Amino acid sequence: LPTDFGSLTGLELLDLSDNSFNGAVPPELLASSSLIELALARNSLTGAITFTDTSLPAIELLDLSGNQVSGQLDIPVGAMQSLRVLQAADNSLSGNFPLSVVLKPLEILDLSNNQIAGAIPTELSLATTLRELYLQSNQIVGPIPDALTQLTDLQNLDFSSNAINSPLITGFAAMPNLQQLKLKNCLLTQGIPTEYSSF
């Protein structure tokens, strides 16, 4: 990827999706102070992405989907404080769920088809602005925290194809805005709670 884009102080939108760029995302691009939307989807980008406290301070949409980005997704507290949409599906991200994202005003978070492991953290319930959450096809284990039912703005939730081995929590049935709940190919136990008849 060219590094010069990061020095364009008036650039607000950069869409380089569906090309053949390879290598790592250059830190010069992440240092842009003006970018509001950055789309790098469906290239051949590789390696870990290193964010700092000053990375992309104005960014609202970041799309890294369909690359070969690897490593832990770690976004410092001071970085990207206006981030509303983070799409990083179909990569090779690993490690545990990135807790730092719950401190952003995210509305859409898509980390599907990666190698994210471990349990779903209870702290995810702090991401109260979430409307869409996609974590399908990872290596997530354990139960779904009851606290996730506090995400009252949530409309779409997909945890399919993970090793979630717990009963289906009843609280999802009372979430006022939930339109799609996908938990196929998991390890859910016991029966379907009667509360789901009110969906």
Q: Output the DSSP codes for 46-104.
A: EE-----TTS-TT-SEEE--SSEEEEE----TTS-TT--EEE--SSEEESB--GGGGGS
- What's the pLDDT tens digit per position in 14-41? 999 999 999 999 999 999 999 999 999 9
- Kindly report the pTM of this predicted structure: 0.93
Q: Average pLDDT in the 58-68 region?
A: 98
User: What are the structure tokens assigned to 142, written together?
Assistant: 């354990």
Instruction: Give the contacts of 167 (CB within 8 A, at least 6 positions apart).
Output: 188, 189, 190, 193
User: What are the structure tokens assigned to 28, written together?
Assistant: 């010069």
Chain mean pLDDT for the chain: 91
135 vs 141: CA distance, rounded Å: 12
**Residue 166 in this model has a pLDDT that exceeds 90:** no
Which alpha helices (DSSP H) does 5-50 contain, by range? 27-30
Q: Average pLDDT in the 177-192 region?
A: 86
How much is the pLDDT for 167?
Answer: 75
- What's the pLDDT tens digit per position in 115-127? 999 999 999 999 9
